[in-house]
Amino acid sequence: MVATLLEAKNISYGYEGMSQLIFDGLSFTVQDGEFVTLVGPSGCGKTTLLHILAGLITDFSGNILLDGMEVERLGKISLMPQQDLLLPWRTVLENGSLPLEIKGLTKMDAQKQARQILIQFGLAGFENVYPHQLSGGMRQRVAFLRSILTGNKIFLLDEPFSALDALTRLKMQEWLLNMWQKFKPTIIFITHDVEEAVFLAQRVFLLSPPPNKKIIEYPVPFFYPRSRSLLGNENFVKLRQEILAGLSTGE
């Protein structure tokens, strides 16, 4: 049975000194284990929305419920900013094991667990390498691995692949879908790329230029696992164009 994990009710917010609100009574729900992508023109408030959901911005009005309850969200929801924030002085293994150490595991136990998952993340052999020695795609994998090891159920990803070259990006999309199917986290993923948004998600959320009164939601009716051949599918192309049209008219 699908259950609602995250519910945003009537969210209104504008940064101090702004002449208008960014969000004006926004409501939406996200199901447990769902993959949602968030698109919208630059400056429409995508990053701001993730910061509200993650608990970094608190002076908004409205309610955000986790599992039906209004609780402190900071630390319960993982936010992966565009810059991956890996600690440069820690190796891949040490970066990956950090959340487990923070939880109180000994360094040895933390690294033992992280090592197991590194293999599943395609990072075997890179345990002792430092972040600056990794490619962009690999850094993103380490960052995501670290998020997974926090044990949180919700992951907010802010344009994680936008700095990657086209080929690496395609590989990372497939990799992420693979990880999602394995670990079944709930993901909200911002992207500028509508094709990426449709390829990954079960639903695409479209934000408009402020003030946003509602999110337009597009269900994506394709089964997983998805392959690149989907990109040429007639219904896929149609949906992509529909969302692009919504983006440009700022509906």
Ligand X SMILES: Nc1ncnc2c1ncn2[C@@H]1O[C@H](COP(=O)(O)OP(=O)(O)OP(=O)(O)O)[C@@H](O)[C@H]1O
**Using CB under 5 A as the criterion, which residues of the chain lie in contact with Mg ion when the complex forms?**
46-47
Neighbouring CB atoms inside 10 A of 177's CB total: 19
Compute the least distance from the CB of residue 89 to ligand X, in Å: 28
Q: Could you tell me how many residues of this chain bind ligand X (CB under 6 A)?
A: 10
157 touches, from ligand X, Mg ion, none (C-beta below 5 to 8 Å by class) = none
22 touches, from ligand X, Mg ion, none (C-beta below 5 to 8 Å by class) = ligand X
249 touches, from Mg ion, ligand X, none (C-beta below 5 to 8 Å by class) = none
Residues 73-112 that bind ligand X (CB under 6 A): none
Q: Which residues contact 72 (CB under 8 A, 6 or more apart)?
A: 55
- Choice from 11, 26, 30, 46 touching ligand X (CB under 6 A): 46
- Contact status: 45 vs ligand X (CB under 6 A): yes
Residues 167-206 that bind ligand X (CB under 6 A): none
- Choice from 19, 42, 229, 249 touching ligand X (CB under 6 A): 42
- Contact status: 12 vs ligand X (CB under 6 A): no
- Contact status: 47 vs ligand X (CB under 6 A): yes
145 touches, from Mg ion, ligand X, none (C-beta below 5 to 8 Å by class) = none
Compute the least distance from the CB of residue 13 to ligand X, in Å: 9
Q: What are phi and psi of 50, to 5 degrees?
A: -65, -40
Residues that bind ligand X (CB under 6 A): 15, 22, 40, 42-48
